[in-house]
Amino acid sequence: MNQYREQALLAGLLVVFAIATRIIFNMLHVYNFNAVMAAGLFAGAYLGSKRIGIVIPFIALAITDAVIGYYDWKLMAVVYASFAVAVLIGKFYAKDATLLRWIASVLGGSLTFFVATNFAVWVFGDGSFYPHTLAGLGQCFTMAIPFYRNTLLGDLTWSAVLFGGYELLKLSLPKRAPVTA
């Protein structure tokens, strides 16, 4: 199998995995405990193309949003952009793949999503839930903490599954001899 097919297969598997976890855990009312962030981080780290990497969370989000339900387009744009950032964070991890960098990458992706999306909720809201004041911003972030717990746990869990599974797979496969021309 050539490298393009391998990457396309991996991208498809990441999309299916992200879709499955988002739908299943939403049906179980465990919101934000899904593999979308993990798939974006993994794609950024291990797929050669940034474009393919960014498409993975976008496709997973678009399909699951169609099933779960759409929401305000401005907030959706921030959510999708947060996952695009995850792919770039995955590229950061890949430059020097260490456990510390993996932890920093997962925490960075989770925190980026939390800050960006909750700031967007406050900015784009009409002020009825959270007034457009510093107190309203603080209230918005405070009310989001239970969701962040699920986000962080999901990102850590699913990233451990993807990255850990990949590293175990690498250990179990025989090394390929380099091809020379």
**pLDDT tens-digit profile of 53-82?**
999 999 999 999 999 999 999 999 999 999
Q: Is residue 77 one of the residues assigned to a domain? A: yes
Exposed e or buried b per residue across 100-132, where buried means at least 16 C-beta atoms within 10 angstroms of its C-beta: ebbeebbebbbebbbeebbebbbeebeeeebee
Q: Is residue 28 one of the residues assigned to a domain? A: yes
SS3 call for 49:
coil
Is the model's pLDDT at 180 over the cut of 70? no
Extract the tokens encoding 38: 């993990």
Domain that holds residue 87: 3-171
What's the pTM? Answer: 0.90
Q: Say which residues have a Cβ less than 8 Å from residue 50's Cβ, sequence separation at least 6.
A: 44, 87, 88, 91
- Domains in the chain, number: 1
What mean pLDDT is predicted for residues 22-48?
Answer: 95
Q: Is residue 181 one of the residues assigned to a domain? A: no
CA distance 98 to 36: 22
Amino acid (one-letter) located at 175: K
